Chains A and B, each alone.
Chain A
Amino acid sequence: GAVVSQHPSRVICKSGTSVKIECRSLDFQATTMFWYRQFPKQSLMLMATSNEGSKATYEQGVEKDKFLINHASLTLSTLTVTSAHPEDSSFYICSAQKLADNEQFFGPGTRLTVL
């Protein structure tokens, strides 16, 4: 159990377009999901905390109007990178916190390349 999926696994888009990434907890309910970003040879940096049915909480320096987060159900959170630019190219990873025991499990990540 405790499987988290992300879709798509990789995406290449043109500068100025928007990209939506889905994060799903497949076999458990998650009231809280987290979104991370990881640049090459660096560690994971938390971007935002997403709670089901409420607005996301963003970390300092992360633009909420650029990285739109929706957490409409106990098993799905989405991250939309709006008007993407080459500097947004990164590895985006979500984690889901199990309602039952507060343990966190990570998705496989989404590789975003903006041309």
Chain B
Amino acid sequence: DAKTTQPPSMDCAEGRAANLPCNHSTISGNEYVYWYRQIHSQGPQYIIHGLKNNETNEMASLIITEDRKSSTLILPHATLRDTAVYYCIVRERSNDYKLSFGAGTTVTVRA
């Protein structure tokens, strides 16, 4: 039970911003929104997480709606190396809390 819904795939042009949506309508008050990505044949890579405020780091920005039922991951200037499966996960930040992976969004960046 992944608790999130993402589009199965999306294409974007190299150099343009990629906006990846995620619905998490049943998120509870103490659950954070996490984003990971998995490049082919590698382990998942942490991207960013947030609770209710928008967050930005060197990789991406995370925009969370006021009701917290959805969020958008923004890759500001997509490169070919950003081609990967992107996973949106809700998770409590407590001991032993598992990450439950859904199908994710396969993002293909095209030259």
Option from B46, B87, B96, B103 in Cβ contact (under 8 Å) with A105: B46
Give Cα A92 to B78, complex, Å.
Answer: 29
Do residues B43 and A93 form an inter-chain contact, with CB atoms below 8 A?
A: yes
CB < 8 Å A-B pair total: 55
Query: A29-61 CB contact bits vs B (8 Å, 1 = yes)?
Result: 001101010000001111001010000000000
Option from B41, B45, B93, B94 in Cβ contact (under 8 Å) with A106: B45
Do residues B41 and A103 form an inter-chain contact, with CB atoms below 8 A?
A: no
B-contacting 9-mer, from A63-71, A82-90, A107-115:
A107-115
Instruction: Tell me if A102 is interfacial: C-beta within 8 Å of chain B.
Output: yes
- Output the residue of A44, A51, A95, A97 with the most chain B CB within 10 A: A44
Instruction: Tell me if A104 is interfacial: C-beta within 8 Å of chain B.
Output: yes
Do residues B45 and A46 form an inter-chain contact, with CB atoms below 8 A?
A: no
Contact of A106 with B95 at beta-carbon distance under 8 Å, contacts A43-B102, A44-B101 already known: no
Contact of A95 with B41 at beta-carbon distance under 8 Å, contacts A102-B93, A102-B94 already known: no
Instruction: Tell me if B21 is interfacial: C-beta within 8 Å of chain A.
Output: no
Do residues B98 and A51 form an inter-chain contact, with CB atoms below 8 A?
A: no
Give Cα A43 to B102, complex, Å.
Answer: 6
Interface residues on B, range: 20 to 34
Do residues B96 and A32 form an inter-chain contact, with CB atoms below 8 A?
A: yes
Give the residues in chain A near B46, CB-CB below 8 Å. Answer: 2, 103-106
Give the residues in chain B near A93, CB-CB below 8 Å. Answer: 43-44
Give Cα A108 to B101, complex, Å.
Answer: 17
- Output the residue of B42, B46, B98, B103 with the most chain A CB within 10 A: B98
Do residues A108 and B42 form an inter-chain contact, with CB atoms below 8 A?
A: yes
Do residues A43 and B98 form an inter-chain contact, with CB atoms below 8 A?
A: no
Shortest Cβ gap from A115 to chain B (Å): 20
Segment 72-101 of B: residues with Cβ below 8 Å from A: 87, 93-101
Q: Which residues of B contact A (CB under 8 A)?
A: 36, 38, 41-46, 87, 93-104
Q: Which residues of A contact B (CB under 8 A)?
A: 2, 4, 6, 31-32, 34, 36, 43-46, 49, 51, 91, 93, 95, 97, 101-109, 111
